[in-house]
Amino acid sequence: MYKLIKRDGMAKRGEFHTVHGTIQTPVFMNVGTCAAIKGGVSTEDLQGLKTQVELSNTYHLHVRTGDKVIKQLGGLHKFMVWDKPILTDSGGFQVFSLSGLRKIKEEGVYFNSHIDGRKIFMGPEESMQIQSNLASTIAMAFDECPPHPATREYMQNSVDRTTRWLERCKKEMARLNSLEDTINKNQMLFGINQGGTYEDIRIEHAKRISELNLDGYALGGLAVGESHSEMYRIIEETVPYLPLEKPTYLMGVGTPANILEAVDRGVDFFDCVYPTRNGRHGHAYTNQGKLNLMNARFELDTRPIEEGCNCPACQKYSRAYIRHLLKAKEMLGLRLIVMHNLYFYNTMMEEIREAIEQGRYKEYKKAKLDGFEANGDN
Catalytic (active-site) positions: 89, 271
Buried b (16+ CB within 10 A) or exposed e, 302-311: eebbbeebeb
- One-letter identity of residue 54: E
Angular region, 221: left φ>0, alpha ψ -120 to 50, beta rest: left
3-class DSSP state for residue 378?
Answer: coil
Q: Which of 98, 28, 22, 24 is nearest to 60 (CA)?
A: 98
Quote the CA–CA distance of 250 and 241 in Å, as a whole number: 14
Query: CB of 27 within 8 A of CB of 259?
Result: no
H or E element at residue 324 = helix 319-327
DSSP E strands in the chain: the ranges are: 2-8, 11-18, 21-25, 27-31, 54-57, 86-89, 102-105, 108-112, 119-122, 138-140, 188-193, 216-219, 248-250, 269-272, 283-286, 289-292
- Alpha carbon 249 to its chain's center: 8
Quote the CA–CA distance of 194 and 162 in Å, as a whole number: 8
Quote the CA–CA distance of 249 and 256 in Å, as a whole number: 15
